[in-house]
Structure 1
């Protein structure tokens, strides 16, 4: 997909999107609802054409602003969140629906796929006799039956309960890799993208804002919004002066930003450390964790295998969160000191600059 755009009634919902899929690789389109993920997938499938840009499959042009080859002629498999099984057909005929060739050849392919998805012996059942997880596996078998070169999946696991979802996702991923198809998976769940993807395309307002491996997307976010999409984040504000930004957690080097620029120091709660405030034995600054800052406990919650503690910080009253392994439930009002892993903190220009127009000094 190259420079793809799509307009609806004069409103652009996908803008200048470029993305390549590779056989045997799972690419996730990740982003909030309404950001253009499903529209991108429909253009890849041929369900609708682009307003601008091109789609090529294996070097062949299949869509541009003037024409669009339909899905059935593109060698693509489609899976949607409602599974879209034919209620009047049994499982065998649902899976065989898109197949051509001899009757025996089609039956052999159906039996092979039902066995691989763990539904051997279910061929004579109807969709209403199946659980949600079983219906999902039938939909997967049907999409894979014609051996598509590309598998396009629009939130196919969203209708499953959490108890089943992880196991079915893992089995689906295993089968997709065995088939060697290029996979494009649309999801709004970061955990799902991290679990399944070889590559994540993070979308926002119709554009890909960051593209890379899950580890890179998570550990090197392009901006505060990208970091916050994967987990809670803490934000400390500061102003650049002489190549650094002073904060209650110590100074951060910001040589690429101009003096006077508003910046945000962004860090995740799991990268914080809490200690009791002991005036006679204070926590000392370290290279790894910087300067500790004091706050008062506002709330503490046990989350199963970890605890979430919120502090109102002494320096400005802002609320910052820390995740602590195990059970740690200090009473409200307990003074604690927080420090953070400086190598896991990110410095970004503030989203709304009030002091300078060009914080990166790109006009120089």
Structure 2
């Protein structure tokens, strides 16, 4: 009885999806561009479609918006079918807002008229909505200005106000911040996200920048070759990646290849577990530069195992660069001549040719079957 009550409470607490995409597929000239994509977004949730250019992200967005027709699958808003391969609600009736990299403001219209463009309401109501939104994005004093007189960040905020004016239940965003310089980008992103969450809008954001997805998303859908290969919260995607390519998409990586013997792989940094991998098979041990330690206490003495970091291996500094918050040091490893990267907080610029002992955070390593 208590389990049934808990399930009922959970069902009440979790809102139904605002946007639901089921098995969406699109082909161009016999080539599958979007392959069986499914996802669901709740009110107030931000989901990022993250992946390299050409993986099908923007095509997925266009199908949801209604400007591109799918070959298979269906799209639902608040549980109601809006599009399948037979039935199709026109784009203007889908209650979906759009924001793109190109702000697409009308140069001959004032800021107020740009924001009011998509509104279908009496004049007084339109004016009130425009004034409300311009106040929220901090542009009330630009109500009669024209787009050419605004900065890029200000134009982006006008585009946001225009997209929000009709009160869409869903917002689709196709790399809308990529045209802004780094100084403005973080502030505009945070401001946009705050407004969208206040409006309880379901957001689907397309980006190829992992940092943007990590900063904005409640959930990341990692796309590759038209498919969603992994989906989850940013923390889980980053710390429990599906494969080597998923690790490498978020950061630089180091890779050591080894052969499995008795579910163990020998490396210069000690043995690593490879459960379920048959003897004789090769695996890639993948780890990020920030998880490489430099052991100054070891001096020139031989490797000594530690509980967390295993065995130390010696490398010779090839070059070191200061990157602002950290330093990147590249080592030529003694054991096979490969290059290993390490990042160190603050300033650390050892001279080329200096030999140092390195360790690897074993709890931050990923072991995957070798694919190439």
Coarse TM-score class (shorter-chain normalised): over 0.9
Aligned twin of 1:87? 107
How far, CA to CA, are the matches of 2:304 and 2:310 in structure 1? 9
Aligned twin of 2:291? 271
Aligned twin of 2:346? 326
How far, CA to CA, are the matches of 1:139 and 1:85 in structure 2? 7
Please give the secondary structure, in 1, of the residue aligned with 2:294: strand
Aligned twin of 1:152? 172
How far, CA to CA, are the matches of 2:229 and 2:338 in structure 1? 29
Alpha-carbon displacement from aligned partner over 1:211-241 (angstroms, at most 9, x marks no partner): 0000001111100000000000000000111
Please give the secondary structure, in 2, of the residue aligned with 1:133: helix
Alpha-carbon contact 1:243-1:257 (below 8 Å) kept: yes
Alpha-carbon contact 1:49-1:67 (below 8 Å) kept: no
Alpha-carbon displacement from aligned partner over 1:164-213 (angstroms, at most 9, x marks no partner): 00000010010000000100000010010000000000001100011000
Aligned twin of 1:233? 253
Please give the secondary structure, in 1, of the residue aligned with 2:39: coil
Alpha-carbon contact 2:310-2:360 (below 8 Å) kept: yes
Q: Does 1:247 align with 2:299?
A: no
Aligned twin of 2:47? 27
Map 1:147-186 → 2, pairs under 5 A: 147-186=167-206
Please give the secondary structure, in 2, of the residue aligned with 1:147: coil
Please give the secondary structure, in 2, of the residue aligned with 1:108: helix
Aligned twin of 1:123? 143
Query: Any gaps of 5 or more consecutive residues in structure 2?
Result: 1-20
Map 1:38-117 → 2, pairs under 5 A: 38-117=58-137
How far the C-alpha of 1:275 sits from its partner, in A, is: 2.5
Aligned twin of 2:362? 342
How far, CA to CA, are the matches of 1:298 and 1:70 in structure 2? 59
Q: Does 1:285 align with 2:277?
A: no
Please give the secondary structure, in 2, of the residue aligned with 1:246: strand
How far, CA to CA, are the matches of 1:14 and 1:27 in structure 2? 17
Please give the secondary structure, in 2, of the residue aligned with 1:201: strand
Query: Any gaps of 5 or more consecutive residues in structure 1?
Result: 353-364
How far, CA to CA, are the matches of 1:31 and 1:299 in structure 2? 31
Q: How many residues align?
A: 351
Q: In structure 2, which of residues 322, 327, 344 is the aligned counterpart of residue 307 of structure 1? A: 327
Q: Does 1:36 align with 2:46?
A: no
RMSD value over aligned CA atoms?
1.0
How far, CA to CA, are the matches of 1:13 and 1:279 in structure 2? 55
Alpha-carbon displacement from aligned partner over 1:34-55 (angstroms, at most 9, x marks no partner): 0100001111111111111111
TM-score when scaled to structure 1? 0.95
Of the structure 1 ranges 227-236 and 51-60, higher mean CA displacement relative to structure 2 is found in: 51-60
Alpha-carbon contact 2:303-2:313 (below 8 Å) kept: no
Please give the secondary structure, in 2, of the residue aligned with 1:332: coil
How far, CA to CA, are the matches of 1:72 and 1:297 in structure 2? 60
Q: Does 1:218 align with 2:229?
A: no
How far the C-alpha of 1:283 sits from its partner, in A, is: 5.6
Aligned twin of 2:15? none
Alpha-carbon contact 1:250-1:290 (below 8 Å) kept: yes
Alpha-carbon displacement from aligned partner over 1:74-99 (angstroms, at most 9, x marks no partner): 00000010011111111111101111
How far, CA to CA, are the matches of 2:295 and 2:348 in structure 1? 11
